[in-house]
Amino acid sequence: MNRGNTISLSLPPFTRWVKRLILVYAGIYLLMALAEVTAPLAHDWVSVYLGLIPKLVMRGMIWQLITYSFLHFQLLHLLFNALSLWMFGSQLESDWGSKRFLEFYFFCTVAAALTTVAMSYTHILGLSPATTTIGASGGIYGLLVAFGVLYGESEIMMFPLPFRIKAKYFVWGIVFLTLVGAIQESGGVANFAHLGGLLFGYLYLRFLPRKGMMFSASETYFSVRNDYYRWKRRRAAKKFEVYMRQHDRDVHFDEHGNYIPPDDDSRKGNGGSKSGWVN
């Protein structure tokens, strides 16, 4: 899809990880629906230990910052998230690649969870740290804002309504509705998760490296490692210089720790080359 083209619900392909995520969400939903009928205690256990409950997160259950996103107890909730993931996530995964797509998606998911935990302890608008939040909406809303930022001039067909709207206006409409829902709905902690996904999705695009955090971290790691190895070589060279001076011989190394051969032609090696070690 080129920027500025019209997007319809029938066009996006099912990319690899979008398809896998949707299948996982659907499978877990089916298992939870069966458990609700056949094993209510197991259903409740999963809700407590895998859903996002801020007071339990603060007690050490940090896995809930991820696992809550895999639970959906209402069919319409699952369908909306799956449809949004397909519509917007497929385009982003196609353009970014799977690694950066997954990094962004779960970054927004965790950021939305942390926003929920923080806001629940403010107790504003009836929020409570004992409230359970489930669903992938935090990550989905991050995808929405990314799509609006990157493809703002593209038009979305508002099926089944017979008109089109630019992606950037569609995303602003979602932001507005989410804000209204957060203000009007007493105890609507899930809306703050949506806002967290929107906010941190934008911040990721605005401030973090274009190739993603993992790529930047690996580049930083190798840079630090190489600096360390160069420091060790310079340190070893200085020690060797001191050792050789103690034995009435002068050897010299450059600022990188490479050996500088003497100017005396009779002491050149390797066919008379003056080159030292390769840096």
User: What's the CATH number where 113 sits?
Assistant: 1.20.1540.10
Task: Quote the pLDDT of residue 271.
Answer: 46
Q: Total structural domains in the chain?
A: 2
Given a contact cutoff of 8 angstroms between Cβ atoms, the answer to whether 193 and 138 are in contact is yes
User: What is the per-residue pLDDT across 172-184, written as a single tens digit (0 to 9) for each?
Assistant: 888 787 777 666 6
Distance from C-alpha of 15 to C-alpha of 17, rounded to nearest angstrom: 6
Task: Quote the pLDDT of residue 174.
Answer: 81
Are residues 111 and 197 part of one domain?
yes
Task: Quote the pLDDT of residue 200.
Answer: 93
Task: Quote the pLDDT of residue 165.
Answer: 83
Are residues 81 and 181 part of one domain?
yes
Mean pLDDT for all residues in the chain: 80
Residues 72-93: what's their mean pLDDT?
91
Task: Quote the pLDDT of residue 233.
Answer: 73
Task: Quote the pLDDT of residue 9.
Answer: 43
What is the amino acid identity at position 196?
G
Question: Where does the pLDDT of residue 158 fall: very low under 50, low under 70, confident under 90, or very high at 90 and above?
Answer: low
Are residues 245 and 129 part of one domain?
no
User: Is the per-residue pLDDT at 7 higher than 60?
Assistant: no
User: What is the per-residue pLDDT across 110-156, written as a single tens digit (0 to 9) for each?
Assistant: 999 999 999 899 888 778 899 999 999 999 999 999 999 998 888 77
Are residues 241 and 117 part of one domain?
no
On whether residue 277 sits in a domain, the answer given is: no
Place of tokens 């209204």: 180
Alpha carbons within 13 angstroms on the beta-carbon side of residue 105 total 24
Are residues 260 and 140 part of one domain?
no
Domain range for 99 is 6-208
Are residues 39 and 164 part of one domain?
yes
pTM: 0.72
| Alpha-helical runs (H) found in 90-166 | 90-96, 98-120, 137-150
To the nearest 10 degrees (0 to 180), the angle between helices 98-120 and 16-38 is 40
User: Is the per-residue pLDDT at 255 higher than 80?
Assistant: no
Q: Which of 12-26, 44-58, 126-140, 147-161 has the weakest average pLDDT?
A: 147-161
Distance from C-alpha of 194 to C-alpha of 81, rounded to nearest angstrom: 12
